[in-house]
Structure 1
Amino acid sequence: MTSAIDLFAGLGGWSTGARDAGVEVLWAANHWPEAVMWHGANHPRTQHVCQDLHQAEWQKVPGHDLLLASPCCQGHSKARGKSSGNPQHDASRSTAWAVVSALEFHKPEGGLLENVVEFLQWALYPAWLAAVQALGYQVSPHIVDCADLGVPQNRVRLFLVLTRSKSPLILNLRQSVHVPASTFLDLNAGKWSTIDKPGRAAATLERVKAGRATYGDQFIFSYYGNTKSGRSLSRPIGTITTRDRWAIVNGDKMRMLTADENLLAMSFPADTKRPDNHRLTVHMAGNAVPPLAGQRVIEAYLAAA
């Protein structure tokens, strides 16, 4: 059986996808104790470490065939705004160098990295790429809408495929039929409120009005961002983020997505163990790799490697 480690494991999107692809995740690490606890709850057979991976003791990490990683994307994502004067952006960008350290020590056959597409515009990406190549790896970037892999969500992400091969490996990622948001939304769940209640923000009412004009009495819409016209329940939802973003309209009532709906939109299994805290669950979900996307990428890698 192919073995793997999971860096910046979070709630376990890569690990869950790997398990479903028949890969054994031996070791997983994250700097956040809460994430490590819940990853452990869902992957009890995996060895866990709570650690800043800049200080990782790689000699204590088990040997493996495949490195999985999702370095912090917040320093690269446009959603964070301008980075000037914010040291958190620099710190989060630098997490990608831990991948180089792990590759240098263990020299696995391959690696799969997930990040936002803006990672390719990082000022130090050419240096990072050169370091990975100096270790004997070819790097092949794949820009993928996770909806094309069967995730019920339009989520465009970068997957970097690292292989010890003569030429870069191009994955055959077969496009799946798009899965609609209606498959995970439960109109009988959650806390509904009247749309036209006193104090409702004018911008929200405008979004609802625009959505009704196009989709009628049932649709979803983004509470913030550039999407102001709503979305049909018959198509994938838009990108799930680390805070409440998507609201559902049903007749004269509306509500935000539940924590469970956020997880299902990310393609986590329905029995995934999670915090009772709504905001914490949403944050972990929005930071994760969609497990189904991870599974499809890993399966394509194994088929081609």
Structure 2
Amino acid sequence: MKAFELFAGAGGMSLGLKNAGFELVGAFDAWKLATENYNTNVGPHAEVFDLKDVAGAVVEIARRSPDIIVGGPPCQDYSLAGKREEQANASLTKSFSMIVSGVRPEWFLMENVIQVLTSDTWMVAKEVLKVAGFGISILKADCSFYGVPQSRRRCFVVGRRGECDGFLDKALERAASDRPMTLRDLFGAAVPEALYFPARMPSKRSVWGPDEPAPTIRSSSLRPVPANYMPHDEDAALIENGYVYTRPFRGGRGVRSVDEPMSTITRTSFERPTGRYLNAQNEKDPVSAADTAVLTLSQISRIQGFPADWRWLAKSKRDICQMIANAVPAPVAARLGKVIMDWHRGESGAEIIDGFVDWVVLKGRSRSSGYNVKSSLRRARKLLGNRIFDNVEMEIAALQQLAGFVSLPVASKSDIRQALRLYTAFLNETPKVKKKGRLRKTPAGNDNLSAALVDVDDTDADFGT
């Protein structure tokens, strides 16, 4: 799949999609410094472009014929850290929707703070996307369940032309880990899914994560992580101290243990606690903020999902932190990108809801006939590449354009059409299921799901974007 990123910043989302197997065909951002960092680290795809110029963007992006347009429009106007007034930055969410609708890729992926979902701007942008024919799925997630040690709460809106609303909801939810990633997971010796490439010098690290390029492979590579391995000096100091400080928001606590996720990375995450905080420290802080470890820029960058060998180009430490805070964490983008890629290829898809065969039997058919109907429905899904259309007549019309369907015997084609109509009738009699999207089955036993997903009001502020 070919991807084009809007509001690309330094390239966190692009890096994640690249790691998931996407081909990057371009990226736009208005900040020249961010595009320079993107091109240095991700690839020569980024250009300086003011996305208020919707018509110009549509023309330029359409030339690249992307399969998916992605991006995180600025969120200051929605964030709890801002004034919550929908002004110039909020209008760029509309720009995103208009560019997507003008280019008409098959897919889009948008990231923002969760508060965007209750904004007037999103209501307009969503209507633009719906008129353009996109079915929309929304994930409200804590990013610590999606590959970074940071309780960054964000919404991800995924759309595909021709699908029904909610088509990807459960697949996105199932991509969550069983538990949140902690700072110890990232910086400690026992890194989940880590690979051990023994370094030639003690000053170099030997443990590499699954979402970054490996060092040069040698004959001694890919050994198990030894029990006595020690992390890099600065990481070892962090783990030994056991606590970090980050400037809190609206009276929240400022101290975190390394055995929990960091709070949302912001452009001030490198700052030490001020006298004002030390004199009125949050009662829930486990230790004094004065005694916590100091996060380095490298550590802040890695908490946001950038690899350790990422090169930051900027004279100002605050500019670097701004680019880090603005980014969509690459591991999160990679995980969601894989869900999209699998669905696009037809390697995963919606499941038939339990109870369909019983419903067919209640309507007067034999159980063997019910299983035949279910088999015909599965055949239809396979022919359609597991797509879920917004109505059954659209599905049947699409089927009738496929060579695989046209070549079937008349009786088989009739069975498939009938199975699709029966399933639609079944969904119409189970409205609670239909509300979540057609062909949806709730996974059993996923106890962590409610922790990985968050409500609209359960959010961290974002000082960075």
- Is the TM value for this pair above 0.5? yes
- Between the aligned partners of 2:96 and 2:289, the Cα distance in structure 1 is 49
Equivalence for 1:39? 38
How many pairs are equivalent?
Answer: 274
Point out the more displaced range, 181-190 or 100-109.
181-190
- One of 228, 234, 249 as aligned partner of 2:259: 234
**Structure 2: which amino acid aligns with 1:227?**
G
Pair 255,275 (structure 1): closer, same or farther in 2 beyond 3 Å: farther
Query: 2:299 aligned to 255, 258, 261, which one?
Result: 261
Q: How big is the shift at 1:236?
A: 1.3
Question: How far apart are residue 247 of structure 1 and its match?
Answer: 5.6
Distance in 1 between residues matched to 2:117 and 2:305, nearest whole Å: 26
Match of 1:197 in 2: none
Name the residue aligned to 1:15: 14
Shift of 1:187: 8.6
Give the C-alpha shift of residue 18 in structure 1: 0.6
- Superimposed CA distance per residue, residues 98-144 of structure 1 (whole angstroms, 9 cap, x where no aligned partner): 22232233210000000000001112322211111001111111101
Query: Alpha carbons of 1:235 and 1:246: their partners in 2 closer, same or farther (altered >3 Å)?
Result: farther
Compute the TM-score of the two structures, normalised by the length of structure 1.
0.82
Tell me, in whole angstroms, the C-alpha distance in 2 between the residues paired with 1:296 and 1:187. Answer: 27
Counterpart contact for 1:181–1:234, Cα < 8 Å:
yes
Structure 1 residue 152 displacement after superposition: 1.0
Question: Which residue is equivalent to 1:222?
Answer: 246
2:90 is equivalent to residue 93 of structure 1: yes
Structure 1 position 184, deviation (Å) = 3.3
Matched, 1:53 2:56: no
Task: Kindly indicate whether residue 127 of structure 2 is the aligned counterpart of residue 130 of structure 1.
Answer: yes
| Mapped partners of 2:311, 2:164: distance in 1 | 40
Q: Which has the larger share of strand?
A: 1
| 1: CA distance, partners of 2:290 / 2:6 | 45
Q: Which moves more between the two structures, 55-64 or 280-289?
A: 55-64
- For 1:179 and 1:100, the matched residues in 2 are separated by 32
Q: Distance in 2 between matches of 1:158 and 1:20?
A: 21
**Mapped partners of 1:72, 1:139: distance in 2:** 20
1:72 aligns with 2:70: no
Residues 138-169 of structure 1 show CA distances to partners (whole Å, capped at 9, x for unaligned) of 11111011111121111110000111133122
Which residue matches 1:178? 180
From the superposition, tell whether residues 45 and 275 of structure 1 become closer, same or farther in structure 2 (CA, over 3 Å): closer
Q: Secondary structure at the match of 2:265?
A: coil
Give 1:234's aligned amino acid: D
Query: What is residue 430 of structure 2 aligned with on the other side?
Result: none
1:147–1:153 contact (8 Å) kept in structure 2: yes
Q: Give unpaired runs (5+ residues) of structure 1.
A: 84-88, 193-215
1:273 corresponds to? 311
> Does residue 1:301 correspond to 2:340, yes or no?
yes
CA distance in 1, matches of 2:289, 2:134: 55
Q: Does 1:291 align with 2:330?
A: yes
**Partner of residue 106, structure 1:** 103
Whole-angstrom distance in 2 between the partners of 1:101 and 1:275 = 32
CA RMSD of aligned residues (A): 2.6
Q: Is the 8 A contact 1:220 1:246 kept in 2?
A: no
8 A contact 2:8–2:14 mirrored in 1: yes
CA distance in 2, matches of 1:145, 1:59: 36
Contact 2:3 2:69 in 1 (8 A): yes
Q: Does 1:117 align with 2:142?
A: no
Secondary structure at the counterpart of residue 256 of structure 2 = coil
Structure 1 residues 247 and 20, CA gap change in structure 2 (3 angstroms): farther
Q: Distance in 1 between matches of 2:289 and 2:160?
A: 52
SS in 2 for 1:38: helix
Identity within the alignment, %: 25
Letter in 2 for 1:266: Q
- Corresponding letter in the other structure for 2:261: P
Q: CA deviation at 1:272?
A: 1.3
Distance 1:163 1:54 in 2: 24
Judge conservation of contact 1:184–1:265 (CA < 8 Å) in 2: no
* Kept after mapping to 1: 8 A contact 2:2/2:67: yes
Helix, strand or coil at the partner of 2:108:
strand
Opposite residue 184 of structure 1, the aligned amino acid is F
Question: Structure 1: which amino acid aligns with 2:303?
Answer: A
* SS of equivalent to 2:175: coil
For 2:6 and 2:289, how far apart are their aligned partners in 1?
44
> Normalising to structure 2: TM-score of the pair?
0.55
Q: How many Å separate the matches in 1 of 2:164 and 2:153?
A: 25
Superposition deviation, residue 246 in structure 1: 6.8
* 2:3 is the alignment partner of 1:4: yes
